[in-house]
Amino acid sequence: MKLSKRATYGLRLCFMLALARAPLSAAQLVRRTDISIKYCEQLMSMLKSGGIAVAYRGKTGGYELARAPEKITVGEILTATDDGFVAPDCISGNCDDMYCPNRNVLGRLKSGIDKVLGGITLADMVNDYRIGCGEAK
């Protein structure tokens, strides 16, 4: 499975917000993720629409997570950035081959991927990062 740049950057933006534990401006997110301001704002709009992030206006405004990192899964972020796992025709019901040998295998694969993506939270990602960097939880 290969993630698009949109999904990769969407995950990175959410990860930065989870690490910060406070609102971050678009400029701060751009500095921390090395993406353009326009693309950052586009992705944050998608994440807001998906119920992942919220935005605050004003001098002290910025973006933050809409829910606790423990309540946001990787699968939700991929869905919000429009980049979930796309099922091939043989498991989405659009296959013309009634003897398709891939239907069962790919159906199980999609189910497994969805289960994994739905089981990993932003909090898990942050904890893994902190353990890898030698920080305490």
Q: Are strands 53-56 and 62-65 parallel, antiparallel or unpaired?
A: antiparallel
3-state SS class at 77: helix
Q: What is the pLDDT of residues 81-125, one digit of tens each?
A: 986 556 666 666 677 777 777 777 777 887 888 899 999 999 999
| Residue 137 pLDDT | 47
The answer to whether position 69 is within a domain reads yes
More confident residue, 14 or 130: 14
Q: Tell me if 32 is assigned to some domain.
A: yes
Is 20 part of any domain? yes
Q: List the alpha helices (DSSP H) in the chain.
A: 5-20, 26-33, 37-49, 74-80, 89-92, 102-119, 122-132
Is pLDDT of 136 > 60? no
Domain count, the chain: 1
> How confident is the model at residue 107, as a pLDDT?
78
* Residue 137 covered by a domain: no
Q: Average pLDDT in the 41-69 region?
A: 93
Q: Which domain holds residue 128?
A: 5-132
Q: 79 falls in which pLDDT band (50, 70, 90)? A: very high
Q: Does residue 39 belong to any structural domain of this protein?
A: yes
β strands within 1-137, DSSP E = 53-56, 62-65
Task: Please answer whether residues 6 and 48 qualify as being in contact, where contact means their C-beta atoms are separated by less than 8 angstroms.
Answer: no
Structure tokens at 50: 């998906």
Q: ∠73-104-80 over CA atoms, to 5°?
A: 25
Q: What does the pLDDT read at residue 26? A: 93
The answer as to whether 52 is a domain residue is yes
Note whether 84 and 50 are within 8 A (CB). Answer: no
CATH of the domain at 71: 1.10.10.10
From CA 13, how far away is CA 10, in angstroms rounded? 5
pLDDT digits (tens, 9 = 90+) for 27-50: 999 999 889 999 999 999 999 999
Tell the residue number behind the tokens 């950052």, with chain if given: 40
CA distances 82 to 38, 49, 132, Å, are 18, 11, 29
Determine the pLDDT at residue 134.
63
Which is more confident, 25 or 82?
Answer: 25
pLDDT value of position 132: 81
